[in-house]
Amino acid sequence: MKVKILVATHKNYAMPKDPVYLPVFVGKALHPDVNQTYQGDNTGDNISAKNANYNELTAIYWGWKNLPDLDAMGLVHYRRHFSLTGKKDVQTVLTQADVEKLLAQVDVLVPRRRNYYIESNESHYMHVHEHEPLEVMKDIIQADYPEYVPAMEKVLKRTWAHMFNMFVMKRQPLDEYCTWMFEVLAKVEARINITNYTPYEKRVYGFLSELMLDTWLETHPEYRVKEVNYVFMEPVNWFVKGGKFLKRKIFGHGEH
């Protein structure tokens, strides 16, 4: 089985040695001289120049368009990987053999769901991000893709989601998902003005796409899905992280 898991990165970092992994330097068109080791996302058909707004999606787009012979493709991050062991060791993450075994039974692998418990995906998004992009995306889906509306409403009301734009997909669902996702995001991009957004908020299309994956999967139950554990390779200060979460919940977007 021909599989590649792209590792989105913007700097040098320890990478898995298993040949299933392909480190991809994202935003290479914006930083052509920063890294000469990793594959850039700026060759062939690409949206590398939009990396500041599309985040890791520029790697997904590059792989989707420029690796057509793959049977399956996935994306992880330089600090966040799928793992069956749970160890914070980049050399014990998901292997080619693991992927082939899992994809013999299902069509799509996603990270273990992230639970918000006290708020929905929609309220979480509104507390953290600018409101307009999500509202525009909802309008576009309602007008142009009505078959996705029930799933979108269901996903927005949930208190959990499959985040980080991490997945491994067989070729057919990959083609279908990427076609839909990038088409919707292009329509959102054409309708909103992010000039005055902060650099963080300008990463808007990457944020929106995190909600689009579950919406797409809900609309296509013909594809079998399996959750896989993931590990974050660096320490997390949960006290600080939890404090920021509660401040946003109490004070709203833009206050902290």
Residue 182: both structure tokens together? 């990038």
In a domain, 85, yes or no: yes
Domain assignment present for residue 192? The answer is: yes
Structure tokens at 221: 């139950």
Q: Tell me the β-bridge partners of 82.
A: 230
| Cα 68 to Cα 72: distance, rounded to the nearest angstrom | 10
Instruction: Give me the CATH number covering residue 160.
Output: 3.90.550
Asked whether the beta carbons of 209 and 57 are under 8 A apart, the reply is yes
**Ordered DSSP codes for 130-165:** -SHHHHHHHHHHHHH-GGGHHHHHHHHH-SEE--TT
Residue with tokens 């418990």: 117
Q: 52: alpha, beta or left, given left = phi > 0 and alpha = psi -120 to 50?
A: alpha
* pLDDT 10s digits, 134-154: 999 999 999 999 999 999 999
In a domain, 256, yes or no: no
Q: Residue 235 domain-assigned?
A: yes
Q: What is the pLDDT of residues 27-71, one digit of tens each?
A: 999 999 988 899 999 999 999 999 999 999 999 999 999 999 999
Domain that holds residue 132: 3-251
pLDDT, averaged per 10 consecutive residues of the chain (256 residues), comes to 98 96 98 93 98 98 98 98 96 98 98 95 96 98 98 98 98 98 98 97 98 98 98 72 52 48
The span from the CA of 70 to the CA of 76, in Å, is 17
* Measured distance CA(74)–CA(168) in Å, rounded: 4
On whether residue 121 sits in a domain, the answer given is: yes
Kindly state whether residue 126 falls inside one of the protein's structural domains. yes
Give CA 46 to chain center in angstroms: 17
